[in-house]
Amino acid sequence: MGEFDLIDRYFKRPVRRAALGVGDDCALLAPAQGMQLAVSSDMLVEGRHFLPTVDAARLGHKALAVNLSDLAACGAKPLAFTLALALPQVDKRWLAGFSKGLLALADEHGCELVGGDTTRGPLNICITVFGEVPSGAALLRSGARAGDDIWVSGTLGDARLALEVFRGTLQLPAEAFEIARARMEQPTPRVALGLALRGIATAAVDVSDGLVGDLGHVLAASGVGAALNADAATQLIVLGAPASGAALGVEVQRTCALAGGDDYELVFTAPAAARKAVEQAGLASATPVARIGCIEAAPGLRIVDAGGAPLAQRFTAFDHFG
């Protein structure tokens, strides 16, 4: 199968909203009046972002999910994406699975594959997503103000638990492992929540490198500090509940929740007066939200327990070159 047959077979579909899709030198998108285009790229490299053994459909899902998560963090509505793919060889089973997982998530979000590039090389997947947001309405990292609450969506830490099992540093009962593994391999981009938070949240970021590190970006961009309730965040590990049978120590739980990485949840800030509105946004988007701290004027991140006492444990964000 040649390059163009491969593209036709696995990645070319009838054009829907785009003015021009796969098959020409460029795709054409027609942004609506009064909207800004939100653009983001994320690359997935074998051995670094995913294990060689991962199921192809799950990998297709994840490759797009991590990109949609960036749109969500901006409060942008997904429109389209491009796919740049390096493949060591043409593996039809792999391509069928990958494109199925990828395009299923794309359809769920009405996000159209409009182009890309395909080449031979070590397995590498780079997606660029395009979304739209009313001019001036994007959620930025720079809008947090002293007195704002800090919120996070969904669950934290379970993806990291799965990674530690793969690394052999931790064991989980089979059922618990499957839960953790699904969180690692098939994250849920919080697109609906991002849209519902327009006009409510003052700042937002998605949690890809760990809560503490990504919240740190908001603090730096906003020129503020924060107190983060480690116990409130740690409660958000699904497998932290005794009923899961995972029996995790408190340090492990805190590390996974606060510095786990690969969560693809939204951490965002909103004025205390907007608590009802945030809860309403969570309900409207069927996304759990939890309050885990508050923004303060003094710079720096103070990690405290539920009683307000500082934590001795230190946390660091994931850094590819760190």
Produce one character per residue of 186-208: b if its CB has 16 or more CB atoms within 10 Å, e if not: bbbbbbbbbbbbbebbbbbbbbb
Q: Residue 23 interacts with ligand ADP (CB under 6 A)?
A: yes
Distance from C-alpha of 130 to C-alpha of 132, rounded to nearest angstrom: 7
Distance from C-alpha of 142 to C-alpha of 51, rounded to nearest angstrom: 34
Please select the residue that binds ligand ADP; options are 64, 72, 80, 85, rule is CB under 6 A: 85
CB of 84 to Mg ion, least distance (A): 9
Question: Which C-beta is closer to ligand ADP: that of 99 or that of 155?
Answer: 99
C-alpha gyration radius of the chain = 20
Closest CA to 98 of 165, 48, 44: 44
CB of 79 to ligand ADP, least distance (A): 15
User: Which of positions 271-300 make contact with ligand ADP (CB under 6 A)?
Assistant: none
Please select the residue that binds ligand ADP; options are 75, 78, 101, 116, rule is CB under 6 A: 116
Residue written as tokens 């327009």? 198
CB of 103 to Mg ion, least distance (A): 20
Question: Which C-beta is closer to ligand ADP: that of 101 or that of 116?
Answer: 116
Q: Residue 115 interacts with ligand ADP (CB under 6 A)?
A: yes
Residue written as tokens 């969506």? 153
Q: Residue 124 interacts with ligand ADP (CB under 6 A)?
A: no
Distance from C-alpha of 192 to C-alpha of 77, rounded to nearest angstrom: 8
Return the range that interacts with ligand ADP (CB under 6 A); candidates 34-42, 46-54, 113-121, 260-268.
113-121
User: Binding residues for ligand ADP, per CB under 6 A?
Assistant: 7, 11, 22-25, 83, 85, 113, 115-118
